Amino acid sequence: MPTILDLHSHSEASEDSRAPVEAYLNWIKLRRQQLPLDGIVLTEHRQWNGGADYRALEDKYGIMVLKAAEVETDYGHVLVFGVNDDITARFDFANVRLPAQELIDEVARMGGLAVPCHPGRPNVGLVEHYERKPALENVVAVERLNGGSRKGENERSAELIARFGYKATGGSDSHLVSLIGLCATRFEAAIRSIDDLVRELKGGHYEPVDFRPRRPEVRRAEPVEASSHRG
Amino acid sequence: MSDIVAIDRFENVQIGAAIGPEPMFLSKEQSRRYARACGLDAPRFTDDEGARKEGLPGMIIPGNMSLGLLTKLVTDWIGQSGARIVRIGTTYRVLVQPDHTISLQGFVTHTYPEERACEIDLWIENEDGERMVTGTATVQFPK
């Protein structure tokens, strides 16, 4: 049975988000037709929010809540799935210059998976770093669709994936309630736990899915000198 | 003139309700007037050439002006209901440049019935659908 998960989201536990987890779940429940998600993965910035317990909310809304982390490395931002005590003892998630190659290798050895996110984004994405440094080894998957991307960023991510043969994920990167689930990942297999997720990310079949509504074309404004829309 | 449909009372606030989108053309002259009125008479807000000398692509609008536009979106929605904004905050993700058509948008995302309050997501989009400024507001209605 397929599973659709938003693999990249931030709750109020991240310093730049005010979105309560319950508001995310209520939003998905109210918009089930547009957002057919089975769950979300909370990837708080530079921390492992291991103590947070969302089981009561999962039961209340019938939506899975898994936990991961988004960390910062010398190759940009990376999502870490399957965080455990060994990984948090080995890496200081608050360090904004974590060594990406070590992170990828060690997290895999300790049972998790590190997935570079928004690789097409300037400064914090893999594409720009690959222009100056050797490509990372042992990368399994990268984020192909990111809901917070600017024009051209997701396209650059797709080119990177095509060039290196990485698997591709999707996530909203939501910091606002109303943006949750707009990009996600569809797995062929059933996923019920973070262990299932890590297993499928490593060896399963999956693809990014896009639930962003089509927006009408906005007419570009004329330069003010030629415009009749003066304020 | 705003096309926003105003809310009349808390009982009619619904999670998921859209506020906007409210498209508007933002001119350089509006940006200059705002900057000068606020004492922000820096080249980056008033003059393309001066802004480029600061390394910017051209004139940008002051962050407080973006905040003001989003605040007006909420107060247009509040209308005559007697509600008030008790908190509003914004994050600046992309430079907002004048001489473009922008779109103001919001969604009610959460309600607090005991406090007769609600939480709203807000953003300013450009013509490419990029969310340049995002934010949230808390609105409280009278008892």
Q: Does residue A117 lie within any of the structural domains?
A: yes
User: Has domain B10-27+60-140 been given CATH number 3.10.129.10?
Assistant: yes
> Residue A177 domain-assigned?
yes
Asked whether residue A230 is domain-assigned, the answer is: no
B107: contact with A, CB 8 A cutoff: yes
Report, as an integer, the average pLDDT of B95-118.
96
Q: What is the pLDDT of residue B3?
A: 80
Tell me the average pLDDT of chain B. 95
User: Which residues from A are below 8 Å from B23, CB to CB?
Assistant: 218
CB contact burial B66-99 (16+ within 10 A = b; e otherwise): bbebbbebbbbbbeebebeeeebebeebebbbbb
B129 touches chain A (CB under 8 A): yes
Domain membership flag for residue A190: yes
Taking residues B28-46, report their average pLDDT. 94
Provide, as residue numbers in chain B, all residues whose Cβ is less than 8 Å from the Cβ of A177: 107, 109-110, 119, 121
* pLDDT reading at B55 higher than 60: yes
Q: What sign for the dihedral angle of Cα B4, B6, B10, B12?
A: negative
In which residue are the tokens 């890496």 written? A91
Question: Distance (Å, rounded) from C-alpha B137 to C-alpha B71?
Answer: 9
Evaluate whether residue A194 is within a structural domain. Answer: yes
Average pLDDT over residues A196-211: 98
Burial B2-22 (b: 16+ CB within 10 A, else e): eebeebeebeebebebebbbb
Do A231 and B29 count as a contact with CB atoms less than 8 A apart? Answer: yes
Q: Is residue A25 part of a domain?
A: yes
A230 and B109: CB-CB below 8 Å?
no
| Residue-level pLDDT at A227 | 43
Q: Is B142 on the interface with A (CB under 8 A)?
A: no
Give the largest Cα separation in chain A, rounded. 63
Nearest to A131, CA basis, from A163, A107, A154? A163
**Tally of structural domains, chain A:** 1
A29 contact B CB<8A? no
A216 and B CB contact within 8 Å: no
Residue A230: list chain B partners with CB under 8 A. 27, 29
Q: Which residues of A touch B96 (CB under 8 A)?
A: none
Question: Distance (Å) from the C-alpha of residue A110 to the closest C-alpha of chain B?
Answer: 35
Give A148-174 as a 3 state SS string.
CCCCCHHHHHHHHHHHHCCEEEEECCE
Determine, yes or no, domain membership for A201.
Answer: yes
Q: Is residue A151 part of a domain?
A: yes
What pLDDT was estimated at residue B41?
85
Residues of A in contact with B16 (CB under 8 A): 27, 30-31
Residue A67 domain boundaries: 3-214
Q: What is the pLDDT of residues B121-135, one digit of tens each?
A: 999 999 989 999 999
pLDDT in tens, A110-169: 999 999 999 999 999 999 999 999 999 999 999 999 999 999 999 999 999 999 999 999
Contact with chain A for residue B128, Cβ under 8 A: yes
A229 touches chain B (CB under 8 A): yes
Report how far residue A159's alpha carbon sits from residue A161's, in angstroms, rounded to the nearest whole number.
5
A16: chain B residues, CB-CB within 8 Å: 91
Domain containing residue A157: CATH number? 3.20.20.140
